[in-house]
Amino acid sequence: MKTETNRTVLLAVIALSLALFACADSGKDNAAATRASAPVTEVRSDAPGAGQPAGPPPGSVTGPGQAEQANQASGNARLTEDEKNTIEVVRKTRNSVVYITNLQYVRDFFYSSDQPVPRGSGSGFVWDDQGHIVTNFHVIDEGAKFMVSLPNQKQVEATLVGLDRAKDIAVLKLGQQVVDLGPVTIGTSRDLQVGQKVIAIGNPFGFDHTVTKGIVSALGRSMLGAGDLTIRDMIQTDASINPGNSGGPLLNSSGELIGMSTMIASPSGASSGVGFAIPVDTIRKIVPQIIQFGKVIRPDIGGVTFVRDEVAQRAGIEGAVILEVVRSSKAYDLGLRGLYRDNYGRLLIRDVVTGIDVMKVKSHDDLFTALDGYKIGDTVTLTIVREDKTRKVTIQLVETD
């Protein structure tokens, strides 16, 4: 009797346990179904606004444009202020920088005809809405034809308007109107400071629209230019400048033109090194003259040519050695004379310019630079040395021959 009672109790316990398991499974199914039908909300304790839904509120609609703006805003949030500024400058000038190819005609041996062959390349920037492009003289030197690659990869032929060898500046003009180009914003180099940020844009090694960033490393540098005359007051920068950058703009953090990338000083002829740019204040004086007259009109003594400085230096002469004086010139009337040969056929020096007004002149380069500070019609006093005797000559400056 007792055994049957125990068996009955055991069966009752087993039945109760099975019932409890069934209820538990049913509760899990209901919970899973509830989760499957409800919107998924992810909460991260490390994200801004933790505890808030990650997605848009129910019923909101997000279009493709809104999603793109949201992604851009998210990307901008991760940028530093300096990075944002650089990006803005690049965007501002995206339609202002071009790529220039210098072509020469070479005789084809097989077809006995002249074929255009690339001689070199460089960069340039849009000066105005008339299609004028500013670049370096050495970029277009000895070129017969010039092709300008625009930011949209379209190529347009350009003609040479004029150049200034002494300052290594040239101006081209596009052969057709291009509506989507934008002139650079012209700044000033007068108030530049060492250490301020600069951005160089150009086409180094043919990689178009390449951007590099650096600082103004030094000011007032003097470098020998492509015209064998010293370009003064150049901007030195550590922004990477390589072959192909020549003629490209150097910009400040406001996107204003402060210089034109021109040359590299590097050991052993390396392709990269310390970069130098022609200051924009120099460019502003020269480019409008080239556009208007096809050349630069400078004040000059008139009718006087000079011995190259390296020749004078080898002879141990300090000053601007006069090579020749045109007989019909005012300088000739005032007694200035150039080289002459003695009875033995030796070439001898007569007049050497050693000063202009209160400035000393140690070379023709010095004299050329000094004349840049005068205007046509100004009267100057030259210090002339002949056979160790010094005299003063007063002369009125005339337009460059």
Residue 167 DSSP symbol: G
Pairing of strands 132-135, 169-174: antiparallel
Nearest CA to 131 among 84, 74, 175? 175
For 252-288, b where at least 16 C-beta lie within 10 A, e where not — what string? beebbbbbbbbbbeeeeeeeebbbbbbbbbbbeebbe
What is d(CA 167, CA 164) in angstroms, rounded to the nearest whole number?
6
- R_g (Cα) of the chain, nearest Å: 37
Cβ atoms of residues 231 and 278 within 8 Å: yes
Cβ atoms of residues 330 and 302 within 8 Å: yes
Catalytic residue check, 138: yes
Cβ atoms of residues 119 and 82 within 8 Å: no
What is d(CA 91, CA 72) in angstroms, rounded to the nearest whole number?
15
**Of 240, 246, 261, 363, catalytic:** 246
Catalytic residue check, 168: yes
Q: Is 180 exposed, middle or buried (0-12, 13-18, 19+ CB in 10 A)?
A: exposed
Cβ atoms of residues 381 and 394 within 8 Å: yes
**Of 121, 132, 149, 168, catalytic:** 168
Output the CA–CA distances (angstroms, integers) from residue 135 to 89, 125, 191, 250, in the order listed. 20, 7, 23, 12
β-bridge mates for residue 169, sequence order: 164
Cβ atoms of residues 324 and 337 within 8 Å: no
E strands, 165-281, are 169-174, 185-186, 197-202, 210-224, 230-237, 249-251, 256-265, 274-279
Output the CA–CA distances (angstroms, integers) from residue 347 to 270, 324, 354, 372, in the order listed. 40, 12, 20, 31
Cβ atoms of residues 171 and 148 within 8 Å: no
**Of 96, 123, 132, 138, catalytic:** 138
End-to-end CA distance of the chain: 141
Q: Which residues are catalytic?
A: 138, 168, 246
